Chain A
Amino acid sequence: MKPAVFDYARPGTLVEAARLLADTGAGAKAMAGSQSLGPMMNLRLARPGRVVDLTAIPALRAVTRRADALVIGACVTHADIEDGRVEDVTAGLLPHVAGRIAYRAVRNRGTLGGSLAHADPAADWLTALSLVGAVAELRSPRGGREVAVSELMVASFTTVLEPDEIIAAIRVPVAGAGARWGWTKLSSKVGEFAHGLAGVFADPGRGTFRAAIGALDTAPIVIDDAAPLFGGPFGERLDQRLDEAALDRRLDERDVVDDYVRAMARVALARAAAQASARQASAGEGERA
């Protein structure tokens, strides 16, 4: 379990990183925390000719607060968010999610951008950042563009990223006062990938009520307006208002055929909804998820 031979580059700027990645003859691959790419290379399932390590680029570690959004550099780690080194603008949701990703050793190195670009359907950030309406800021030698995180993944391990395109930052909207959320991750044991993953996020200040379901063996289902799914606006006893037929239609649209996966999606969403209903806007932890 040793990787095949590869070249290694650790550029200090985004421009240089994009240039190294654009040299298509090299078979280049971007690496951030190396928590997925590293094992895949060791198993020789991934054999990039060149690894472009993004972790020495200061811009990718930067966190900038704007009036309506927090811009988080793509190389910020899960642990940075879990431990509160990055300001929270989501009423506690992102630190909650971060603390439940894999194991602490993985969280110490794994990054937001790396997780999104890897696009494992069972991973947490694609679903969680889609839920809060985050936007990915991409850079390539041709310039920049923005893609909603909910539009980033097209299928398992497949994104809209071009080979020379880097996720530079993730822009997370600042939730208003009174925002509520619920998040449920079902897995066989602590730290393992989810087999049921769902969240509900209601922000009355901004007038949003969203839901997202992950761990579907494909891209997460992201519901910008969850009111039809719950037969009306956000409120109490949300879980009991879940329209299972509507959810089934959503799962059918994604060709989710495994009854167990469908059942776990339903349970996870109902539990997330129940939590969101019960949660005071300020509460941030403590439930069994």
Chain B
Amino acid sequence: MGVGSEVSKVRDVPQGRGIGARLARKEDERFLHGRGRYIADLRFANLREVAFVRSPVAHARLTRVHVPEHLRASVFLASDLSDVSPIRAVSPLPGFFPTEQPPLVVDRIRQVGELVAMCVADTRAEAEDIAAQVRLDYEELPAVVDMLEAQQPGAAQVHDGMANNVYVRVAFEGDMADIAANAPVRVRRQVRTSRQVMSPIECRGFVAEWDTRTSQLVLHGATQFPHVVRNGLARVLGIPELQIRVISPDVGGGFGYKAILGAEEVCLSWLAMRCGHPVRWLEDRREQLVANANCREHAYDMTAYADAEGRLLGFEAECAVDTGAYSAYPFTSAIEASQVSAILPGPYHIPAYRCSTAAIATNKCPNLPYRGVARPGCCFAMEVMIDAVARTVGRTPEAVRYANLVRPEQMPYDNASDKHFDSGDYPALLRMALEAIDVEAVRARQAAGEPDGRRIGIGMAIFSEQTAHGMTADGTRRTLYEQAFARITPDGRLEVRVGIQTIGQGLETTLAQVACSYLGIDPDRVQVKLGDTELSPYSSGAWGSRGMVWVGGAVAAACDDLASRVMAIGAALLQTTPDQVTLAEGRVASAAGSVSLEDIARAYYLAPADLPPDIDHHGLEVTSGHAPACLTGIHTGSAHACVVAVDPQTGQVEILDYVVSEDAGVVVNPMVVDGQIIGGTAQGIGTALFEEMPFSPEGQPLATTLADYLLPGSAEVPNVRVLHMETPSPYTSFGQKGVGEGGAIGPGGAIANAVNDALAPLGVEMLKLPMTPRRIVEALAAARRGDAR
């Protein structure tokens, strides 16, 4: 248990515009009119462009880089950047093998697309022309491509000295011997998820310049956490943080891809400190696909032990995460594997649990934390297992879930992996989703058969989402507090500055709604400023569904403090004492009368003679902080249910209906939460049915354009129906829970279970995502031939 800051009750809300209001997003005024300002929209005098020479092979010893003599001044190599430290992201987990990623390859290439040289020119096209003239000599090494083969004796090594290509192994060691010997039902499955590519519409991009006035490196960039980029840059560049300012303009989608310190921005920053003009690198879609944005690839070998009714007695799993060539800053090469072991138990009561997950080094892009991080893979794996148990014991999937879900009367509940579920009603969430989807009607339709020969399936997935955690995997505290700065302006409006960045989640609106509830000020009179290290308190940024819990809590705390100050000044103006006034709807009122925030601000800043001389010297600006009272995560519950039609001839899957029930605690803006859930669900549909980055045996990424890497489009995403349940968390300032990642977690499991429900009579069970038409057709053909699974 951590320490939560004290905040008083939520105040009156003007016209229902504070916490809980379905307010239109303030930022949409500019976004919907095409007036957002993204990194590529910014204009700089004397800007020059950077293109990188990238490795064409997955694994090699780089022996020489040939730069034509006339281009020497425009091309920079590792030898030029010798004063830059490698990027190091080290997990505190025991047994972790630390690795280093030099910003430019020194002598060893470990993935296709790794940076070898930086080329500068007036335009990107000319920079690419220069890059095309740089030739590399290298001796190819055998590439490590498959994570399971990578662990075998004799496999090539990605990093010298790393045993079996394992960065780290994270285990929960329950005693399974007795259960394994005696359980009436034993179900084993091996399942896999594919490598995906997180695909914000805006790729990464940075402009670096040296400000001679402030002696600062100014890095403008699309990032989810400007302060963390500053931490990392200061370390690798070896300069004080005071000499770095990171500014994030509008960000066109993050999803975790902009929660890293990339080698590109390190190189760019180094160059800007020396070259006397701003330099820009805008990642193109090919770089994003083949060189950078990889995520998600997991393998699970699971055994569930149950009684004859499907009640789980124990669960064990041997898992692997294809973690790629390097440890990404700051979340490390351990994050995904440690989350697999910690999150696999899901929302279930599992009496005995054993799980070991290895983070495996391969000659592929580093695995980056994509929306939900390990949760979508874990949910898919566990939910497929629950359905397999249900089929084995001959019960419905919902019956087996009801038999195993943690019940509301067990809350708070500490689960098999030591996660603390604070509140909620998981069985009710599942019931809510299944009623909305009308299970009985779907099963009747399924029994009747379809005139077009397609097969109907119903699927469900339920999970407990660990949100807003404040600890690293080894249980050390990652984040102390999150701060917010709040100031009443001289004209009586409110300025809120926070160090988190908004990446599409609507914080300019929702934090204003929190301020509204605590300060009684209309959200239209609040401006939330984000994304600039110079103008905001420190923040570890936008990740882990933490914004509303941590930063929302900080804004509540700051506004609560500010409310006391406002009331004190208001009381002075009303010639009474603070305990005799109330603050509501932007006014401080006493029995005798009231004054507005404008009156109070005007008196404080512009007419001090109206106030007594002993007024509180802290003034009308506050920085305050917050941490939730539980640091292992504020657990949110959600159930997904869907109906699919599978064409057994073509393998095509159509989603006919999709329902999400979600308990995000006290919801600040239901419309924003719906948007988060629907957007996440669209991404999860990609995980389930479309998205896959395949590799050749030599480690070449094969989906090099969006014609090969398929993302779900508007025609593939159904009308997702979102149902809310509100169980306030006892550990957060106003009962809120995290919600940003949830939508992406459920679809893999729900859709796989629906497809398997549809195809079970044909002897097919899909155990690998995505379930492409080809995979389904081939599985059906194998079942017809009687192949063993």
Q: Are A186 and B772 in contact (CB under 8 A)?
A: no
Interface residues of A in 1-22 (CB under 8 A from B): 1-5
- Minimum C-beta distance from B104 to chain A (A): 21
Q: Are B650 and A190 in contact (CB under 8 A)?
A: no
Q: Which residues of A contact B414 (CB under 8 A)?
A: none
| B690 interface residue (CB < 8 Å to A) | yes
Q: Are B715 and A195 in contact (CB under 8 A)?
A: no
- Minimum C-beta distance from A96 to chain B (A): 17
Q: Are A2 and B705 in contact (CB under 8 A)?
A: no
Q: Which residues of A contact B123 (CB under 8 A)?
A: 2
| A192 interface residue (CB < 8 Å to B) | yes
Task: Out of A192, A259, A267, A288, name the residue touching B781 (CB < 8 Å).
Answer: A259
Q: Which residues of B contact A267 (CB under 8 A)?
A: 649-650
Q: Are A2 and B715 in contact (CB under 8 A)?
A: no
Q: Are A263 and B710 in contact (CB under 8 A)?
A: no
Q: Which residues of B contact A263 (CB under 8 A)?
A: 649, 777, 781
| A264 interface residue (CB < 8 Å to B) | yes
Task: Out of A2, A188, A195, A196, name the residue touching B690 (CB < 8 Å).
Answer: A188
Q: Which residues of B contact A196 (CB under 8 A)?
A: 650
**Complex-state Cα separation, A5 to B124, whole angstroms:** 12
Q: Are B129 and A4 in contact (CB under 8 A)?
A: yes
Task: Out of A4, A39, A186, A193, name the residue touching B650 (CB < 8 Å).
Answer: A186
Task: Out of A39, A189, A260, name the residue touching B713 (CB < 8 Å).
Answer: A189
**Complex-state Cα separation, A39 to B368, whole angstroms:** 28
| A26 interface residue (CB < 8 Å to B) | no
| A43 interface residue (CB < 8 Å to B) | yes
- Minimum C-beta distance from A248 to chain B (A): 15
| A233 interface residue (CB < 8 Å to B) | no
| B712 interface residue (CB < 8 Å to A) | yes
Q: Which residues of B contact A264 (CB under 8 A)?
A: 650, 777
Q: Are B286 and A1 in contact (CB under 8 A)?
A: yes
**Complex-state Cα separation, A237 to B644, whole angstroms:** 28
| A191 interface residue (CB < 8 Å to B) | yes
Q: Are A190 and B125 in contact (CB under 8 A)?
A: no
| B100 interface residue (CB < 8 Å to A) | no
Q: Are B773 and A43 in contact (CB under 8 A)?
A: no
Q: Which residues of A contact B777 (CB under 8 A)?
A: 260, 263-264
Interface residues of A in 22-48 (CB under 8 A from B): 39, 43-44
Interface residues of B in 684-721 (CB under 8 A from A): 690, 704-705, 707, 710, 712-713, 715-716
| B778 interface residue (CB < 8 Å to A) | yes
| B495 interface residue (CB < 8 Å to A) | no
| B652 interface residue (CB < 8 Å to A) | yes
Q: Which residues of A contact B710 (CB under 8 A)?
A: 188-189, 192
**Complex-state Cα separation, A186 to B285, whole angstroms:** 26
Q: Are B650 and A191 in contact (CB under 8 A)?
A: no
Interface residues of B in 253-286 (CB under 8 A from A): 284-286
**Complex-state Cα separation, A194 to B125, whole angstroms:** 33
| Chain B minimum-CB-distance residue to A4 | B129
Binary CB contact string for chain A from 193 to 212 against chain B (1 if under 8 A, 0 otherwise): 10110000000000000000
Q: Are B716 and A193 in contact (CB under 8 A)?
A: no
Binary CB contact string for chain B from 759 to 775 against chain A (1 if under 8 A, 0 otherwise): 00000000000001110
- Counting contact residues on chain A (CB < 8 A from B), the size range is 20 to 34
- Minimum C-beta distance from B352 to chain A (A): 41
Q: Which residues of B contact A5 (CB under 8 A)?
A: 125, 129
Task: Out of B125, B704, B715, B778, name the residue touching A260 (CB < 8 Å).
Answer: B778
**Complex-state Cα separation, A186 to B773, whole angstroms:** 10
| B301 interface residue (CB < 8 Å to A) | no
- Minimum C-beta distance from B770 to chain A (A): 9
| B607 interface residue (CB < 8 Å to A) | no
**Complex-state Cα separation, A152 to B199, whole angstroms:** 38
Q: Are B715 and A1 in contact (CB under 8 A)?
A: no
Q: Which residues of B contact A188 (CB under 8 A)?
A: 652, 690, 710, 772-773
- Minimum C-beta distance from B635 to chain A (A): 34
Q: Which residues of A contact B284 (CB under 8 A)?
A: 1
Q: Are A193 and B707 in contact (CB under 8 A)?
A: yes
Q: Are B650 and A1 in contact (CB under 8 A)?
A: no
Q: Could you say which of A5, A186, A193 has the most chain B C-beta atoms within 10 Å of its C-beta?
A: A186
| Chain B minimum-CB-distance residue to A39 | B705
* Known A192-B707, A192-B710; contact A43-B286, beta-carbon cutoff 8 A: yes
Q: Are A43 and B705 in contact (CB under 8 A)?
A: yes
Q: Are B650 and A189 in contact (CB under 8 A)?
A: no
Task: Out of A2, A189, A195, A260, name the residue touching B128 (CB < 8 Å).
Answer: A2
Q: Which residues of A contact B690 (CB under 8 A)?
A: 188-189
Q: Are B712 and A3 in contact (CB under 8 A)?
A: no
| B132 interface residue (CB < 8 Å to A) | yes
Q: Are A190 and B129 in contact (CB under 8 A)?
A: no
Task: Out of B715, B773, B778, name the residue touching A190 (CB < 8 Å).
Answer: B715
- Minimum C-beta distance from B739 to chain A (A): 28
Task: Out of B125, B285, B707, B716, name the residue touching A2 (CB < 8 Å).
Answer: B125
* Known A189-B712, A190-B716; contact A3-B773, beta-carbon cutoff 8 A: no
| Chain A minimum-CB-distance residue to B285 | A1
**Complex-state Cα separation, A44 to B778, whole angstroms:** 35
**Complex-state Cα separation, A264 to B705, whole angstroms:** 24
Q: Are A191 and B649 in contact (CB under 8 A)?
A: no
Q: Which residues of B contact A4 (CB under 8 A)?
A: 128-129, 132
**Complex-state Cα separation, A263 to B777, whole angstroms:** 9
**Complex-state Cα separation, A215 to B205, whole angstroms:** 37
Q: Which residues of A contact B652 (CB under 8 A)?
A: 186, 188
Interface residues of B in 625-658 (CB under 8 A from A): 649-650, 652
Q: Are B713 and A191 in contact (CB under 8 A)?
A: yes
- Minimum C-beta distance from A108 to chain B (A): 17
* Known A186-B650, A189-B716; contact A195-B773, beta-carbon cutoff 8 A: yes
**Complex-state Cα separation, A267 to B452, whole angstroms:** 13
| Chain B minimum-CB-distance residue to A268 | B650
Q: Which residues of B contact A259 (CB under 8 A)?
A: 778, 781
**Complex-state Cα separation, A191 to B707, whole angstroms:** 10
Q: Which residues of A contact B716 (CB under 8 A)?
A: 189-190
Q: Which residues of B contact A190 (CB under 8 A)?
A: 713, 715-716
| Chain A minimum-CB-distance residue to B51 | A2
- Minimum C-beta distance from A104 to chain B (A): 12
**Complex-state Cα separation, A196 to B651, whole angstroms:** 12
Binary CB contact string for chain A from 142 to 186 against chain B (1 if under 8 A, 0 otherwise): 000000000000000000000000000000000000000000001
Q: Which residues of B contact A43 (CB under 8 A)?
A: 286, 704-705
Q: Which residues of A contact B125 (CB under 8 A)?
A: 2-3, 5
- Minimum C-beta distance from B736 to chain A (A): 36
**Complex-state Cα separation, A189 to B125, whole angstroms:** 33
- Minimum C-beta distance from A110 to chain B (A): 14
**Complex-state Cα separation, A3 to B132, whole angstroms:** 11
- Minimum C-beta distance from B200 to chain A (A): 17
Q: Are B124 and A2 in contact (CB under 8 A)?
A: yes
| Chain B minimum-CB-distance residue to A190 | B715
**Complex-state Cα separation, A260 to B705, whole angstroms:** 23
Interface residues of A in 230-289 (CB under 8 A from B): 259-260, 263-264, 267, 288
**Complex-state Cα separation, A92 to B68, whole angstroms:** 59
- Minimum C-beta distance from B781 to chain A (A): 7
Q: Which residues of B contact A195 (CB under 8 A)?
A: 773-774
Interface residues of B in 115-169 (CB under 8 A from A): 123-125, 128-129, 132
Q: Could you say which of B704, B712, B773 has the most chain A C-beta atoms within 10 Å of its C-beta?
A: B773
**Complex-state Cα separation, A60 to B337, whole angstroms:** 59
**Complex-state Cα separation, A192 to B710, whole angstroms:** 9
**Complex-state Cα separation, A3 to B104, whole angstroms:** 25
**Complex-state Cα separation, A43 to B781, whole angstroms:** 37
| Chain B minimum-CB-distance residue to A267 | B649
Q: Which residues of B contact A2 (CB under 8 A)?
A: 123-125, 128
- 22 A-B pairs (CB sep. < 8 Å): A1-B128, A1-B284, A2-B123, A2-B125, A4-B129, A4-B132, A5-B125, A186-B652, A186-B773, A188-B652, A188-B690, A189-B712, A189-B715, A191-B713, A193-B707, A196-B650, A263-B649, A263-B777, A264-B650, A267-B649, A267-B650, A288-B452
Supplied contacts A4-B128, A193-B707, A195-B774, 6 more A-B pairs, CB within 8 Å? A186-B773, A188-B773, A189-B690, A192-B707, A259-B781, A288-B452
